[in-house]
Amino acid sequence: MKKIDVVELYITKRIDVLQRENGEYQIHKKEINELKEVLDVIAKTRTVRCGKTLTKINGFDVDKLIKHTTSYL
């Protein structure tokens, strides 16, 4: 598996766990929204890649974003 696939899988599972724990108080709403934004960036990287190494999307440094996201693992 590629690193980005592992990150995407982790984020998806983390969102599922947080949504189950969320309950009616919506205590994890901010974290869930941030994780969904990361998934959006991952989706954009897939659509933008055209055989070249992608380094930036909409001003985001993809390598830094991946390192920041994987630091939660």
pLDDT per residue as tens digits for the range 7-58: 889 999 999 999 888 877 788 899 999 999 999 888 887 765 544 455 555 5
Which three-class secondary structure state does DSSP give residue 25? Answer: helix
Domain boundaries, the chain: 3-70
54 phi and psi angles, rounded to 5 deg: -90, 130
Q: Which residue shows structure tokens 């991952």?
A: 42
The Cα 60–Cα 28 span in angstroms is 24
Question: Pick the residue with more confidence: 54 or 69?
Answer: 69
What is the per-residue pLDDT for 55?
Answer: 57
Which pTM was predicted? 0.59
Lookup: tokens for 46: 């897939």
CA neighbor of 66 nearest in space, from 1, 20, 8 = 8
Which three-class secondary structure state does DSSP give residue 68? Answer: helix
What is the per-residue pLDDT for 42?
Answer: 84
Question: Pick the residue with more confidence: 3 or 48?
Answer: 3
